[in-house]
Amino acid sequence: MKQLRSILLKISALVFSVILTILLLEAGSFAVLASRYKGLISPRERFRRDTNSFTERLTQSSKGNCGYVDTLFPHPYLGFVHHGNPPCGIPEINNIGLFGRNYPSEKDPKKFVILLTGGSVASQFAELHKRAPSYLEQILNRDYLSPKGGPFSILNGGDGAWKQPQQAILFMLYSDAVDAVVTLDGFNEHYQIGAGTRFEFPANNFINVNPLVTEDFATIAKNWIWGNVRRYAAQHPVLSRSNTVYLILKTFGPEARGEVSVETRKTNVVSMFALPQDWGLPKRIGWSQKQYQKYILAMDLVAHDSHVLSAYFLQPVPAIGKTLTENEKAVVGDLRYASTYRNMVDSLFELRGRGVPIYSLLDVFQDSKQTLYSDEIHLIHDADGESAGYRMMAEKMAAVLAQSWKLKKR
């Protein structure tokens, strides 16, 4: 009996020690995370904020236990698109790896086809999922007659992390098969304003789908395994609530180990797109703004030569033009880019002097008091796919297009 009691005491002491150790680890990890990332946030919320609503919805629409990178597919001219291949394929993918309707090879004699291109916001706006309506198409068909007399039809030409010149390249590929082109961009582009690399520096997605860009295949394999471990932890009912698990994943993941860097190779993406080291910030800013202008102007010249109507919209951002709700303030992130974004918009407006139809949507939410933003740039969709924010944008864009293209009212 005494021996049994001794065993039970040892087991109890061990269990107590384990529990105490876990609690101490959790408390320490919580303190480190709160200090490092400036905020008292639950681990589940931290896991959620490591992604955004675009990548989250895309992952949910694929099959199996797949991450966003598993849905990507290399494109010889656009850098990266998506695929519909098992097990991680996305059902809504069309014939060129984007979303919605298949792309045509020539103009439709009955429909007025508009290519709407940009980044992930443009993709969501133009219809990311079948359940989510294309508000711009609905409104144009409701209120206006198309120049052809037939219905307006929107082609989704947006994708996550896309930025110029991807929009320009896409339009050049299909300029002979559409009747109009509309861009909706600005946020992804603003990151390159004043950067040390060229305006065209590719997104990380390009590196993810092109293994030879990284150091070796062993690193790719390790990062793929680590990504699956992180995804499992983020979805696990217990592990996703652990500060210690999150801290370990952030501390020893590929980004922390520096293994996603390609700068250690003689030939690498950074060196290919590097700007002269003696360029100061003012020169880099002015140069990158001119590059942005160049691609919009190139699109407009191609549009004019192809007898295609055009319009270029600069998207709204949380940092400008909206009184944010408390829910929005919790998810929109650092807003100190406001002056950079405004200056970029002002520089692009110089193109109006050359006849380019460019417009700003920065004021589209100025009178709204509701929560519209779901993260740093995307807008909320409800369970039925409806989005008040994207509908408001569509109403404004349709009115601008009607005036710019001289559309007749129904």
Does residue 375 share a domain with residue 303?
yes
Q: How many domains does the chain have?
A: 2
Spatial neighbors of 20 by CB under 8 A, at least 6 apart, are none
Does residue 146 share a domain with residue 87?
yes
Does residue 315 share a domain with residue 243?
no
Q: What is the maximum span of the chain, computed from C-alpha positions, in angstroms?
A: 96
**Average predicted confidence (pLDDT) for the chain:** 86
pLDDT at 94: 94
User: What CATH number is attached to the domain comprising 307?
Assistant: 3.40.50.1110
The pLDDT of 279-301, averaged and rounded, is 98
What six digits make up the tokens of 383?
């369970």
Does residue 384 share a domain with residue 249?
no
| 366 pLDDT higher than 80 | yes
Q: What is the 3-state secondary structure (H, E, C) of 300-322?
A: HHHHHHCCCEEEEEECCCCCCCC
**Strand 180-185, strand 358-360: pairing:** unpaired
- How do residues 13-56 score in pLDDT, each as one tens digit? 777 777 777 777 767 666 766 666 656 666 665 555 555 545 55
| 121 pLDDT higher than 60 | yes
Q: Decide if 213 is inside a domain.
A: no
Q: What is the pTM of this model?
A: 0.81
Higher pLDDT, 29 or 287: 287
For residue 23, the enclosing domain spans 1-40+223-259
pLDDT at 269: 86
Q: Assign residue 355 a region: left if phi > 0, alpha if psi is -120 to 50, beta otherwise?
A: left
The pLDDT of 196-222, averaged and rounded, is 79
- Exposure on the CB side of residue 17, measured as CA atoms within 13 A: 6
- From start to end of 319-383, where are the E strands? 358-360
pLDDT at 153: 96
Among 155-159, 203-207, 231-235, name the most confident range. 155-159
The pLDDT of 369-375, averaged and rounded, is 97
200 vs 106: CA distance, rounded Å: 29
- How do residues 68-95 score in pLDDT, each as one tens digit? 888 899 999 999 999 999 888 888 899 9
Spatial neighbors of 62 by CB under 8 A, at least 6 apart, are 70, 71, 88, 89, 90
Does residue 146 share a domain with residue 29?
no
233 vs 242: CA distance, rounded Å: 9
Does residue 155 share a domain with residue 99?
yes
**Strand 79-82, strand 152-158: pairing:** unpaired
140 vs 396: CA distance, rounded Å: 11
Contact 383, 400 (CB under 8 A): no
The pLDDT of 175-198, averaged and rounded, is 97
Does residue 366 share a domain with residue 251?
no
Does residue 72 share a domain with residue 20?
no
pLDDT at 259: 46
Q: Decide if 208 is inside a domain.
A: no
Does residue 248 share a domain with residue 144?
no
Q: Decide if 216 is inside a domain.
A: no
The pLDDT of 136-148, averaged and rounded, is 96
Does residue 230 share a domain with residue 348?
no
Does residue 385 share a domain with residue 313?
yes
Q: Decide if 210 is inside a domain.
A: no
pLDDT at 109: 95
Q: Decide if 46 is inside a domain.
A: no
pLDDT at 173: 98
Q: Assign residue 83 a region: left if phi > 0, alpha if psi is -120 to 50, beta otherwise?
A: beta
Higher pLDDT, 3 or 256: 3
Q: Decide if 209 is inside a domain.
A: no
Q: Decide if 217 is inside a domain.
A: no
304 vs 331: CA distance, rounded Å: 41
Does residue 147 share a domain with residue 15?
no
